[in-house]
Amino acid sequence: MQNPIYIPIVNSQDEIIGHGEKLEVHKLGQLHRAFSILVFNKKRELLIHQRALHKYHSGGLWTNTCCGHPNEGEEMQAAVIRRLIEEMGFGCELNYSFKFHYKADFENGLTENEIDHVYVGEFEGDFKVNPDEVADYKWVDMETVLHDVTISPEKYTVWFKEILKREEVENLV
């Protein structure tokens, strides 16, 4: 059995006020720190992935390149690099872009209540995704993904749709 993972609980100013076991934090809907990663290739296509079907929420939905939470005592920059390698099987330089808050309740009783830090990178090359995390992936141009989210929002994660609404994303296209 895996050891429990503890993630930062934050206040509305994104200051760490404690740590909680990841699943329990989501059961209680506590405000916590998270990150989302957007990786583009040289053609400015975004790498998106379909979450593994067995994920604790949003399984089978399409989302940004990678996302996660820093572990207790882990700096955000180290966490984003670690998670990109764990989930997508490659690393690249990642730069902080912006952060935002969102809250979403899921049918299974879990709640995402996150201050989500968004990082952006560029990558070219081969990689092998972690099948425990990723069911499928593809490179898509932003116009295509923005159009598809508009006509089929049910196919995408809540946080990815929130990211795409942000004016900061317009500067990335």
Instruction: Give the catalytic positions in this structure.
Output: 67, 114
Q: What angle do CA 111, 78, 41 make, to 5 degrees?
A: 85
Q: Give the distance from CA 32 to its chain's centroid.
A: 13
Crossing angle of helices 158-165 and 142-151, rounded to 10°: 120
Q: Give the distance from CA 81 to its chain's centroid.
A: 13
Side-chain-facing half-sphere of 73: CA atoms under 13 Å:
1
